[in-house]
């Protein structure tokens, strides 16, 4: 499968998943259908929009209406079947999948422009995490990015592994799967085992 086509598929899956996660967050806060649709868009396109602006690229969804429709479909699914997803405790896991997918998409775009390791990792992590940060702020929640479980670090790992695999000359499938799997594995470990980064002691002692 062509690399660009594969990236497009991954990006669309990530958009739907993040749209669903945004919709579930809005439903949990008892927003009406308009609010649900708006909040669904934030994680789905927010990180990619910021990435494209910083990389001086056309914002991806302006010429890609299916992206908006997929985000809206995720919001509608959350609105009409919130009980189903709530039983699955889906929000945190959907967010983890979206994080892993978007990390490699962002890293791929940066590498296509011949940026180095640091910019590649930053763009991957930003694509993955910035939209969820906006979603949580709008929903008046402490952002997942700032909570105890490993989150931003997982996006950085996914982007780093993608960079390493591509630098070694591996195929498109291998690079994308390795990066996404690494990011998802670390995020899943953070969720299951409550992993967290070091924090200062209370009172600065």
What is the per-residue pLDDT for 87? 67
Alpha-carbon torsion 115, 119, 122, 123, what sign? negative
pLDDT digits (tens, 9 = 90+) for 3-23: 788 888 889 999 999 999 899
- Can you give the pTM of this predicted structure? 0.90
Q: Burial, 65: exposed, middle or buried (Cβ in 10 Å; 0-12, 13-18, 19+)?
A: exposed
What is the per-residue pLDDT for 1? 62
Given a cut of 60, is residue 204 above it in pLDDT?
A: no
CA distances from 68 to 15, 99, 108, 183 (A): 8, 18, 21, 25
Phi, psi dihedral angles at 95 (to 5 degrees) = -65, -40
pLDDT digits (tens, 9 = 90+) for 93-107: 888 999 999 999 999
The conformational region for residue 85 under phi > 0 = left, psi -120 to 50 = alpha, else beta, is alpha
What is the per-residue pLDDT for 143? 86
pLDDT, average across residues 168-193: 95
More confident residue, 62 or 84: 62
Q: Among 9, 7, 50, which residue's Cα sits nearest to residue 162?
A: 7
Longest dimension (CA), the chain: 56
Angle, to 10 degrees, between the axis of helix 33-54 and the axis of helix 3-28? 140
What is the per-residue pLDDT for 78? 93
- Residue ranges of domains in the chain: 3-196
Q: pLDDT confidence of 203, banded at 50, 70, 90?
A: low
pLDDT digits (tens, 9 = 90+) for 20-60: 989 999 999 999 999 999 999 999 999 999 999 999 999 99
Phi, psi dihedral angles at 151 (to 5 degrees) = -135, -70
What is the per-residue pLDDT for 85? 75
**Alpha helices by DSSP H, the chain:** 3-28, 33-54, 65-80, 82-87, 90-112, 117-138, 152-167, 172-193
pLDDT digits (tens, 9 = 90+) for 154-174: 999 999 999 999 999 999 999
């Amino acid at each position: 499968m062509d690399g660009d086509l594969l990236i497009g598929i991954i990006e669309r899956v990530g958009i739907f998943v993040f749209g669903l996660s945004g919709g579930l967050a809005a439903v949990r806060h008892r927003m009406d259908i308009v609010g649900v649709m708006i909040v669904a868009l934030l994680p789905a396109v927010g990180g990619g929009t910021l990435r494209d602006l910083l990389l001086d690229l056309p914002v991806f969804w302006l010429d890609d209406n299916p992206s908006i429709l997929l985000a809206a479909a995720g919001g509608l699914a959350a609105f009409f079947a919130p009980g189903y997803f709530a039983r699955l405790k889906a929000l945190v896991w959907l967010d983890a999948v979206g994080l892993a997918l978007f990390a490699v998409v962002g890293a791929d775009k940066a590498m296509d422009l011949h940026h180095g390791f640091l910019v590649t990792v930053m763009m991957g992590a930003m694509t993955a995490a910035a939209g969820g940060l906006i979603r949580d702020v709008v929903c008046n929640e402490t952002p997942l990015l700032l909570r105890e479980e490993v989150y931003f670090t997982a996006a950085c790992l996914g982007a780093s592994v993608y960079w390493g695999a591509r630098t070694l000359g591996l195929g498109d499938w291998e690079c994308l799967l390795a990066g996404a799997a690494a990011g998802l594995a670390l995020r899943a470990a953070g969720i299951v085992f409550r992993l967290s980064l070091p924090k200062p002691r209370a009172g600065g002692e």
